[in-house]
Structure 1
């Protein structure tokens, strides 16, 4: 059954019937706007359903596509927007239509592709990078590095004998990711690969979903809501519902949404008065943690001032809540609408987010060129103060200990200041030296320090390193454990396909030890 021409305006019909009467760019735009709804009137060919119930588009008369009809495929293969050639009835070809940017359009049921054969050039480049840098995890090979933890696949290898290390080449047909140097090693070690194969396939489909060209309604965020509508922070479902997000009924869309929201919501879930972390059993909050968070919550949830619009109703406003995000990387380049969600949890308070770290402006040079360092701006700070009336963001491409030694942020107030470290790698051998000077300075401030980690082992390694570095000069505010608002989407380490983790998996907190002083009565 062919659709009627009543679905299309007369202007579009005229453009499709007589290609020479209108500019070619308009014809191509009309063709793309119609999508899979092809008109059937006069000289137009209609659309028909193939064996899978999907629409197979037939070319219009007088128009020939450079791609063959078989390239459309009956299995929902991706179709690229390639230029069309318009031919007159006499067979004379006119100039080709302007070239458009090629972008794969993947259907929801066609997201699985092997990395090497992906319709996305970016993923194909990623596959080439993995094949050049990642090593086969089969235990017959020798170790290429020291194992990071007891569960590291590298621990199964021998440190001396065995085959020489080999890069991954073979892509698992179930997950589509290069995981072994050959099909024989993949089949021999298939039982170990099964532990992460389903997760790797999920990573594969999520990455293709981001590049599918579809519309992402899960990235539309709600604004302010009345204060009487309390936010439920039990888990992601209750949070999104109570914050009046658009309903997300697909697990993949939920994973994409939480990948970004995990950063502001993790901070808010710890500092909010309705936090799921408490001092009760299995609440993970310590007595010292209750003291520090009570001070912050006193400022984050102030009583109504009773101020009015006239002169007599003017009331003094407290300073903004400063959150120092140290070692900032990906979180500093998040869309600002994501960070605005933090202010909606505390509608009576203004926030000042301060991103600090040498990588805080990575891949953002075109967006914000680094300013020159002048006497008025000695550290080249980039200030974004027109986001909302309650949010200001400053970025420093500098190490924190340099700013601390200069007293740039002095004084610190435990009622208005907080430090946040996303995946800092305090105890990681490759990055612990960068925190050697910073951690003692953080403890001097007596301000709460929130830390996240990729795994439970990662968090415990960071805690052991901090205790070893500063001795007993720290108070634990929150025991390490799983974060209620971790990212539900898994991330893949391109240097090691066996290393799969999720953002902000766990959270814990500490601060510098505070000593209680007692006064001894003088002898009479």
Structure 2
């Protein structure tokens, strides 16, 4: 960022010299300038350019509407709480209107609007017959600022139940306003490579960020914003890394079968030093990249590529090929449309990004995985180089389970590790039960399902139901198609 004050002072200090070395005189007297004068002239030109660029930016900002200037003044770090319906931000007010058009009042006096999704679902407390008809929310809670009830009376009557989530909803409110505050976000400045002798500590977020030499994050809100993005690559890395916090010790959650599968991957993720270096003499044979298939990709496919590079920095000697698969894998990537044509060389219209880094390549397929699998597009699969990742798949969700019914058996057929996460404990357990019931015993659990050490610390609000609060990658578990050991038969 430009330091306008210091650059202005520098320009004023050099102004007398600048008159002598104007653009025209510099062109005509370039040959007469001494080396020191050349440097001075370049500095003057640079300062002039910075000041003119800054002044142009300031002029452009003064042309903004009075409402937007007011927004920037209101959203200071100590004044981030505003009711959604009265927010100084147009986008937040539009979001409040969407909630009021779609969300129903959770008061138990109303009819049920749908079947309960979990035991803690507010719909489970409603009456199935009799009572008041369903009503849309219209009242903003004064404590959290989120539209939650149809009237102030129902809010006051059900206030004890609302208190269970009120503080979390207020946190969501402030975090959303913080993202639109226009402040500089130092927590989104990521480190790159570090010396290999500096070991990474994966005990929790604090130790990881410290050992990876991130900029110090001393604010809980900034930590929540940072982990919202980093949870995706770090969740994968925390399981595959040789210093993973998940192990076969008591309470380590890793099973014996999991140790077998992860040991195969770690063999190639942490290769020994080969003496490779620049030049012809430094050429050495190198293993193929480790393929990570993100099946059912949605929001994670639009993550900034600097975020995905954090996975590469955990394994500095390995190459990765990240493959994003799913009909929604182009979500929030409108600038990349239209999709490539499907040709004989690119039969599924893959979008390939191979210039991100020499160690990272990303391919996107707007297609169901079972279609690609049946075409043998990624065949063969190797347990030493391949891994599947399912972010919040909703395998057991009543609405989306039919989309996975054909895919899960094909994933198990590959016999490579499958990592999966869930929004909540109930969501994750529902997925685990569905896999066990529909796999007919042909599944091995690699990592016991429990809370993810590197879950997102920021909570998310479901605009269709403000009572539904989740966080990204809350829980994590892993499974694989059952493998059978060969036994020697006693033939006599």
Residue in structure 2 matched with residue 196 of structure 1 by the alignment: 165
State whether structure 2 residue 128 is matched by structure 1 residue 163.
no
Query: Contact 1:421 / 1:452 at 8 angstroms: preserved in 2?
Result: yes
Residue in structure 1 matched with residue 485 of structure 2 by the alignment: 516
Residue in structure 1 matched with residue 29 of structure 2 by the alignment: none
Alpha-carbon offset, residue 306 of structure 1: 2.1
Residue in structure 2 matched with residue 324 of structure 1 by the alignment: 293
Alpha-carbon offset, residue 29 of structure 1: 6.7
Between the aligned partners of 1:32 and 1:509, the Cα distance in structure 2 is 50
Alpha-carbon offset, residue 8 of structure 1: 6.4
State whether structure 2 residue 465 is matched by structure 1 residue 459.
no
Structure 1, unaligned runs of 5 or more: 13-25, 35-79, 84-97
**Structure 2 CA distance for partners of 1:357 and 1:32, relative to 1, 3 Å:** closer
Alpha-carbon offset, residue 102 of structure 1: 3.5
Between the aligned partners of 1:6 and 1:135, the Cα distance in structure 2 is 55
1:289 aligned residue (250, 254, 258): 258
State whether structure 2 residue 190 is matched by structure 1 residue 217.
no
**Equivalent residue runs for 1:243-262 within 5 Å:** 243-262=212-231
Alpha-carbon offset, residue 159 of structure 1: 1.0
1:112 aligned residue (73, 81, 86): 81
Residue in structure 2 matched with residue 425 of structure 1 by the alignment: 394
Alpha-carbon offset, residue 522 of structure 1: 2.5
Query: Contact 2:299 / 2:332 at 8 angstroms: preserved in 1?
Result: no
Query: Contact 1:419 / 1:450 at 8 angstroms: preserved in 2?
Result: yes
> 3-state DSSP class of the match of 1:496?
coil
TM-score normalised to the size of structure 2? 0.87
Between the aligned partners of 2:337 and 2:356, the Cα distance in structure 1 is 15
Residue in structure 2 matched with residue 242 of structure 1 by the alignment: 211
**Structure 2 CA distance for partners of 1:31 and 1:155, relative to 1, 3 Å:** same
State whether structure 2 residue 370 is matched by structure 1 residue 401.
yes
Deviations 1:236-293 (A, max 9, x none): 0000000000000000000000000000000000000000011111111111001101
Query: Contact 1:486 / 1:506 at 8 angstroms: preserved in 2?
Result: yes
State whether structure 2 residue 414 is matched by structure 1 residue 445.
yes
Residue in structure 2 matched with residue 379 of structure 1 by the alignment: 348
Residue in structure 2 matched with residue 172 of structure 1 by the alignment: 141
Between the aligned partners of 1:400 and 1:271, the Cα distance in structure 2 is 23
State whether structure 2 residue 266 is matched by structure 1 residue 303.
no
Between the aligned partners of 1:113 and 1:28, the Cα distance in structure 2 is 34
**Equivalent residue runs for 1:119-134 within 5 Å:** 119-134=88-103
Between the aligned partners of 1:120 and 1:102, the Cα distance in structure 2 is 8
Moved more, 113-122 or 233-242: 113-122
Alpha-carbon offset, residue 81 of structure 1: 5.4
Deviations 1:149-182 (A, max 9, x none): 1111111101111100000000000100000000
Between the aligned partners of 2:139 and 2:264, the Cα distance in structure 1 is 55
Between the aligned partners of 1:157 and 1:113, the Cα distance in structure 2 is 30
> 3-state DSSP class of the match of 1:175?
coil
Structure 2, unaligned runs of 5 or more: 13-50
Between the aligned partners of 1:305 and 1:101, the Cα distance in structure 2 is 61
Query: Contact 1:82 / 1:102 at 8 angstroms: preserved in 2?
Result: no
Work out which structure has the larger RCO, using CA pairs closer than 8 Å and 6 or more positions apart in sequence: 2
1:136 aligned residue (95, 105, 108): 105
Greater per-residue helix proportion: 2
Deviations 1:291-311 (A, max 9, x none): 101111111111111234454
Moved more, 194-203 or 304-313: 304-313
**Equivalent residue runs for 1:14-33 within 5 Å:** 30=55
> 3-state DSSP class of the match of 2:468?
strand
Query: Contact 1:81 / 1:100 at 8 angstroms: preserved in 2?
Result: no
Query: Contact 1:81 / 1:102 at 8 angstroms: preserved in 2?
Result: no
State whether structure 2 residue 478 is matched by structure 1 residue 497.
no
Alpha-carbon offset, residue 447 of structure 1: 0.3
Between the aligned partners of 1:33 and 1:308, the Cα distance in structure 2 is 48
Alpha-carbon offset, residue 82 of structure 1: 5.3
Alpha-carbon offset, residue 365 of structure 1: 2.5
Between the aligned partners of 2:330 and 2:459, the Cα distance in structure 1 is 24
Residue in structure 1 matched with residue 28 of structure 2 by the alignment: none
**Equivalent residue runs for 1:38-187 within 5 Å:** 83=63, 102=68, 104-105=71-72, 106-187=75-156
Alpha-carbon offset, residue 315 of structure 1: 1.8
1:469 aligned residue (411, 431, 438): 438
